[in-house]
């Protein structure tokens, strides 16, 4: 598999009392070979978590389903309550 470059712009999420986290948006799409703008299929997400796409994709998948998904749920909950 040929190495693909992920987007150059890094995003950093910081929270008081916690270590900042930096990542490349769209990096998991690049690692799994999913076109940008399309959702990552559940089968590819499971394969990424299992290590089929390499150790970097495992970290990206865990972050996407853990920290980022929790942030989206919190934001949606706060948006509805106002």
Q: CA 22, 8, 28 angle in degrees (round to 5)?
A: 65
Question: Can you give the pLDDT at residue 8?
Answer: 67
Question: Can you give the pLDDT at residue 78?
Answer: 85
Residue pair 37/20 in contact (Cβ under 8 Å)? The answer is no
Residue range 18-67, pLDDT digits in tens: 999 898 999 999 999 999 999 999 999 999 999 999 999 999 999 888 88
Per-residue 3-state assignment (H helix, E strand, C coil) for the chain: CCCCCCCCCCEEECCCCCCCEEECCCHHHHHHCCCCCCCCCHHHHHHHHHCCCCHHHHHHHHHHHHHHHHHHHHHHHHHHHC
């Amino acid at each position: 598999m040929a190495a693909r470059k992920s987007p150059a712009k890094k995003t950093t999420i910081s929270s008081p009392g916690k270590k900042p986290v930096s990542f490349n948006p769209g990096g998991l799409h690049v690692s799994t070979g999913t076109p940008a703008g399309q959702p990552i299929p559940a089968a590819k997400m499971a394969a990424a978590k299992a290590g089929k796409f390499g150790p970097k994709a495992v970290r990206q998948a865990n972050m996407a389903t853990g920290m980022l998904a929790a942030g989206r749920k919190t934001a949606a909950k706060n948006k509805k309550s106002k």
